[in-house]
Chain A
């Protein structure tokens, strides 16, 4: 089976360069800042309902990269930081991945690119670690849900932006090519961690 490798790319502004490298337009996911009451939650739900039945694609990329990656110690973490950088992104990832898998053609591929700290350096990066581990489990569940359609769902966690390393996008694009290639045709629920385990 031949699949169209030009992905539908769901992301944030911070993922714009990656989308550009792949030569595809960036479809923005709502990323309003969350508060305790999840005030933007209704808009996110409306976005999901509006997007879920659109055109289907062979490959969907979801890359809700954070606009600013900021370290916080547990002692100094504020509630606003928590809602804005943990609960909000968690909800946005959930909605985006749900839409992505629904809009993926049978036997297609969905890949989530997510900021993830290397565990040994994850002190003060609890918010990012929390979101990335949550996203990994969303991917695993959605892979089970859509397995019967042959939809494969993968997770790639990268510390590159946290560590300020160059060539981060090239590495992610390489992972994209690997996971959409014919050698990976029978793989799903793959979890790849860039950097140290």
Chain B
């Protein structure tokens, strides 16, 4: 991304969890942050928090499974802020932390996973692309450790997160010619979804933290957000097509 005084970025699914952390981290650097979410009250609250942290926080209604909703949200941003420098597709299905048996899982549930993670990536990337070409901006997709190793109880979640890595790699090669970078992160952080997953599967906390090098789950604002901010910034201008594990070393990859 070309260095600008106040980059303008969009974060989907930013009304809570990792998306909120990313939004607040970007705002703390003085950026203009558009908090995109389906729930206005929660999204507006995060936008207000972003403004309180030194950035310009705005809420925009956005349902990433809907082409028209994504298009309207990005049009609103560009109309208001004059440009778009970065997009972060963080939204994920509400079913993500729900353990399933693939053989009995309703196909409609799989559709929900696919729509939010994969289709949402497509809609956000395609609608943002002309604006990112203009700004030489970048995209960051959210994947997961599950998208590397699979999960016994979260197979559909792991599959869509793997699929997002494929999109990231392909779009990075393709969009690089237009000066647009595409990267991903695989975070491990304390979020409502993780807390829900731990509650539904009491063995999970021990399995995750028992062998964790740093012994704690990341903070969305202080541990996860800064890495995304780096990827969106000009400091990462020579970084594209990668997935960075932001998990405190939980999954060693060299």
The 3 closest A-B pairs by CB, nearest first: A140-B150, A137-B162, A133-B166
B170 near A117: Cβ-Cβ < 8 Å = yes
A77 touches B122 (CB 8 A): yes
Interface residue ranges of B134-182 to A (CB < 8 Å)? 146-152, 154-156, 158-167, 169-171, 173-175
B212 at the interface (CB under 8 A from A): no
Q: In the assembled complex, how far is the CB of residue A157 from the closest CB belonging to chain B, in whole angstroms?
A: 10
How many positions in chain B have a CB within 8 Å of any CB in the partner chain?
43
Pair B160/A134 contact, Cβ less than 8 Å: yes
- Which residues of chain A are within 8 angstroms of B166 by Cβ–Cβ distance? 122, 126, 129-134
The DSSP consensus for interface residues of chain A is helix
Q: Which among A12-20, A91-99, A165-173 touches the partner chain?
A: A91-99
Q: Which residues of B are at the interface with A, using a C-beta cutoff of 8 A? A: 67, 102-103, 106-108, 110-111, 114, 118-119, 122, 125-126, 129-130, 146-152, 154-156, 158-167, 169-171, 173-175, 241
- Known pairs A131-B163, A141-B150. 11 more at Cβ < 8 A? A86-B118, A98-B103, A122-B166, A132-B166, A133-B164, A134-B159, A138-B158, A140-B150, A141-B151, A141-B159, A144-B152
With A75-B129, A141-B151 known as contacts, the answer to whether A119 contacts B169 (CB < 8 A) is: yes
- A163 contacts the other chain (CB 8 A): no
Whether the Cβ atoms of B173 and A120 lie closer than 8 Å is yes
CB-CB under 8 A from A74, the residues of chain B are: 125-126, 129, 171, 174-175
Q: How far is the CB of B167 from chain A (nearest CB, A)?
A: 5
Chief secondary structure at chain B's binding surface: helix
Contact A126 B118 (CB under 8 A): no
Minimum CB–CB distance for A41 against chain B, Å? 4
Q: Is B155 a contact partner of A145 (Cβ separation < 8 A)?
A: yes
Query: Complex Cα distance A120/B174, Å?
Result: 10
Residues of chain A lying within 8 A (CB to CB) of residue B162: 133-134, 136-138, 140
Q: Which of A's residues lie within 8 Å of B, judged by CB?
A: 38, 41-42, 44-45, 48, 52, 73-75, 77, 79, 82, 86-87, 90-91, 94-95, 98, 102, 117, 119-126, 129-145, 189
CA distance A146 to B73 in the complex (A): 43
Q: Kindly provide the distance from the CB of B160 to the nearest chain A CB, expressed in whole angstroms.
A: 7
Pick the residue among B126, B147, B152 that contacts A75 (CB under 8 A): B126
The CA of A22 and the CA of B149, in the complex, are separated in Å by 30
Name B102's contact: one of A42, A75, A94, A140 (CB within 8 Å).
A94
In the complex, are the beta carbons of B155 and A138 less than 8 A apart? yes
Whether A90 lies near B129 (C-beta < 8 A) is: no
**A residues less than 8 Å from B159 (CB atoms):** 90, 94, 134-135, 137-138, 141
Distance, CA A42 to CA B130, complexed state (A): 37
Bound complex: CA of A44 vs CA of B161, how far in Å? 22
* Of B110, B126, B164, the contact of A91 (CB 8 Å cutoff): B110
Q: Note all chain A residues with C-beta closer than 8 A to B107.
A: 38, 41-42, 44-45, 48, 91, 95
Shortest distance in angstroms between A95's beta carbon and chain B's nearest beta carbon? 7
Asked whether, in the complex, the Cβ of B170 is within 8 Å of the Cβ of A98, the reply is no
- With both beta carbons as reference points, the residue of chain B lying nearest to A53 in the complex is identified as B103
- Name the B residues within 8 Å of A142 (CB-CB): 102, 150, 155
Q: Are B156 and A94 in contact (CB under 8 A)?
A: yes
Contact A130 B167 (CB under 8 A): yes
Q: Which residues does chain B contribute within 8 Å of A144, judged by CB atoms?
A: 150-152
